[in-house]
Amino acid sequence: MSEEKAVALPEKSWRSRVFLFGGLIGAVLGLISAYFYVRAADEAHGPEGQPITPSSGDTVRLGLSLLSIVRTITEWGSR
């Protein structure tokens, strides 16, 4: 019985680390992306100006790029 617990703990441990690091990396990349978006909008339109809303085509392209990244990361897990 104690051997089963010893085997189960490392599995939970690596999974927890993956979720923790993945969440932290995602949050940091999201904040960095938002910072650069606001910075570029300020340079283009001034601090009081509002940027133009991205077109639906731009949004679809961004979504497909993100799906490609997720697919690549998923493939790493199957190796």
pLDDT tens per residue, range 3-18: 555 555 566 788 999 9
pLDDT value, residue 69: 94
Q: By 3-state DSSP, what share of the chain in percent is helix, strand and coil, each rounded to 5?
A: 85, 0, 15
Which range (11-20, 23-32, 58-67) has the least confidence? Answer: 11-20
Task: Determine how many CB atoms are found less than 10 A away from the CB of residue 65.
Answer: 10
Report field, pTM of the whole predicted structure over 0.75: no
Q: How far is CA 66 from CA 26, 60, 62, 71, in A?
A: 12, 10, 6, 9
pLDDT value, residue 60: 97
